[in-house]
Amino acid sequence: MKQKNIPEDTKEMIQQMKSEYDNIINEQAKSFLKEKHEIEKSYMNEINRLRSLIETHRESLLFEKLPILTIEQYNELSTAPHSNISLEQFIARQLYELKRDEKIKIQNVSDLYAELVLEHDTIKKELEPTKQKLQAESALRVTLESQISKLSVPIELPKILDSNDDIYKKYQDLQNQIKDMTSSYNGAIARSDLLLERLNANNKQLEANNLKFRDAQKEIASLKSQLSVTY
């Protein structure tokens, strides 16, 4: 098949269109490369900014490097909007509140501990006289038991004795004396039991207070430990 001849003007037009197309492609490629470079530059700048921000925040999270706020500084920061304070100031404010609250807890526990110590001392003071009374009552019981055992020997009186006879009267006096001593003995037993009950109650209270002491001491130590870690 015989190829048709393309007119010269058509060839020139095709060549011109091809040249224009190549120019457009080249310009777009240059624009793309420029835009790519700008994006990469912006991307790297953003990465560096974020790295710097992370490092700054990491430094802010080192509590020992944070400023210890005064009451005036805290009052100023506590009323400031969050958008107007830095991360470092925000954390310092939070730590100030934590430290303040922990101090209040320690003071409350310390006050409770002081009350327990006072109650403990009061019970111990009351306990000593109770022990002494209990010892005295125990000694009295032993004495009365001994005397009653001596006086409780059965005595057989002759049936012919008259109620007005001196021997009979002495016998009656002895019986009355035994009754009085028995009554005193029973009273001593009752008082001893009461004192013993009070003594046991005081001992139980002391044991309960000792548990509270240990709990209070542990809580104070824990709060102080938390506070020392915070700052």
Q: What are the tens digits of pLDDT across the range 68-120?
A: 788 888 888 888 887 788 777 787 788 888 888 888 887 887 787 778 777 77
Residue 124 resides in a domain: yes
pLDDT digits 0-9 by tens, 28-63 = 878 887 887 888 888 788 777 777 776 666 665 555
- Is residue 70 in a domain? no
Question: Could you tell me if residue 214 is inside a domain?
Answer: yes
Residue 97 near residue 125, CB atoms below 8 Å: no
Q: Among residues of the chain, what percentage have pLDDT more than 70?
A: 63
Q: State the pTM of this model.
A: 0.38
Q: Which domain holds residue 201?
A: 101-154+161-230
Taking each helix axis from N to C end, the angle separating 87-151 and 71-78, rounded to the nearest 10 degrees, works out to 120
203 assigned to some structural domain: yes
Instruction: Report the alpha-carbon distance of residue 36 to residue 30 in Å, rounded.
Output: 10
Q: What pLDDT is recorded for position 128?
A: 73
Estimate to the nearest angstrom the gap between the alpha carbon of 183 and the chain centroid: 56
Residue 115 covered by a domain: yes
Higher pLDDT among residues 156 and 96, named by residue: 96
pLDDT at 121 over 80: no
Q: Note whether residue 64 is domain-resident.
A: no
Cβ atoms within 10 Å of 92's Cβ, excluding its own: 20
Element (H, E) at 56: helix 8-60
Into how many domains does the chain fold? 1
In a domain, 79, yes or no: no
Of the candidates 228, 223, 226, the residue with the CA atom closest to the CA atom of residue 105: 223
Least confident stretch, 2-16, 77-91, 157-171, 203-217? 157-171
Decide if 209 is inside a domain.
Answer: yes
